[in-house]
Amino acid sequence: MPYTTLISTTALTTQLNSPDWVILDCRFNLAQPEEGETLYRTAHIPGARYAHVDRDLSGVKTGRNGRHPLPDMEIFKTRLAAWGITPTTQVIAYDQHNGVYASRAWWLLRYLGHTAVAVLEGGFAKWQREGHPTSAGEEKLADVSVNSWANRQPDPTILVTLATVEQLRLDPAWRLVDSRAPDRFAGQNETLDPVAGHIPDAVNHFYLNNVQSDGTFLPIEQLRANFQNVLGATPLDQVVVYCGSGVTACHNLLALEVAGLVGAKLYPGSWSEWCAEPQRPVASVS
């Protein structure tokens, strides 16, 4: 049975040599974009390929489409093939600690209809802390034909566009969930985007509220209760999650799935796309 949300370090240790598994190292630092790749070369889980959030898990920025626009899916398929991933591969993604960047890889694969993808609980920090093996340098990749992905197309039902957000935010039947820290949601301490605040009528659920101090996710019952406090009676297929650039929102989408709350959508452009045009309304919390 495939892993589709989370996997423990213990379970992963039993599959390190499995030919049908591929591990993606997604460690990243927004302030120092090359740090994750440097850390990867120093030490990583044996066999892992490095997935750079900017280069591999994002597309070309235009200045109006957000800080981490979705990659072109044909280019992304080529990257998957270069990593040795086919539509039948079990993929495990990890980052340093809480899964925030790994969840971006998780969501992108789900977007292509690939459900056999999971995030490592506690990340590389937990892996190292428990004394599991590591490797250094670059891995020799066994790429596969990109043709294996020819019949896989993105699923447009799991995301919404800017135009859709502009309409649905005015509909009380829908719920917009902002995944950023409470201060940024309130319009305070904004250091990443040129405009502070949030999309009017959105509610806030900080993605770090999904995890415990060791980077592992909260118990399912607690996750579910936390989300239901925010979502109320809103049907899950009428929930749209966003963040600053479409990365940390994926962590909330993963946590929802872990909690058995399935159906929410991603607004990939998120706040950095929304605030790129000065005529769009902005809300803050006094």
Would you state the structure tokens that stand for residue 279, as one six-digit string?
Answer: 């005529």
User: Which secondary structure element, helix H or strand E, spans residue 241, and what is its range?
Assistant: strand 239-242
Sign of torsion over alpha carbons 141, 142, 146, 149: negative
243 among known catalytic residues? yes
Distances (CA, A) of 226 to 44, 70, 181, 212: 33, 28, 15, 13
In angstroms, the CA 275 to CA 195 distance is: 6
Spatial neighbors of 59 by CB under 8 A, at least 6 apart, are: 65, 69, 70, 71, 72, 75
In angstroms, the CA 246 to CA 105 distance is: 12
- Catalytic residue (choose from 26, 243, 250, 275): 243
239 DSSP 8-state letter: E
User: Which secondary structure element, helix H or strand E, spans residue 21, and what is its range?
Assistant: strand 21-25
Q: How many other CB atoms sit within 10 Å of the CB of residue 120?
A: 28
Q: Where are the alpha helices (DSSP H) in the chain?
A: 9-13, 35-42, 73-82, 102-111, 123-129, 162-168, 182-185, 220-231, 248-258, 270-274
Catalytic residue numbers, as ranges: 243
